[in-house]
Amino acid sequence: MTASSTPSEVQRCPLCQVEIESCPGRPDTVMFSQGTPGTRSKLWSRVCQFLKTTEQTTACINQDADRRGPQQLGDAFPDAPTIDLGAS
């Protein structure tokens, strides 16, 4: 018996050039240019939410809130630590 392979679909965003692999029965996987693969919600938290123009949001392949789901812990970059400059 051979394992059945389910075809996956890969989309490339024309704006940020990430690739998103969709495979039925599994969450979508985002291939970032650096680091480990992530989720659509991570891509949204770090990139897509900051688009400014209608043209940008129209071109973005990660605008569907139902496909990306809610933001998860660790999706966004952590806030920078407070720096004490010694001002009194």
For residues 20 and 10, the answer to whether their CB atoms sit within 8 Å is yes
The predicted-structure confidence for 36-86, as pLDDT tens digits, reads as follows 999 999 999 999 999 999 999 999 999 999 999 999 999 998 888 999 888
Helices then strands, counting H and E runs in the chain, come out as 3, 3
Residue type, 48: C
Residue 49 CA to chain centroid, in angstroms?
A: 10
What single DSSP character describes residue 41?
H
Residue 78, token pair as written in the block: 């952590």
Q: Is 86 helix (H, G, I), strand (E, B) or coil?
A: coil
Q: What is the pTM of this model?
A: 0.80
Residue 30 has phi, psi (to 5 degrees) of: -100, 125
> What are the extents of the domains in the chain?
9-64
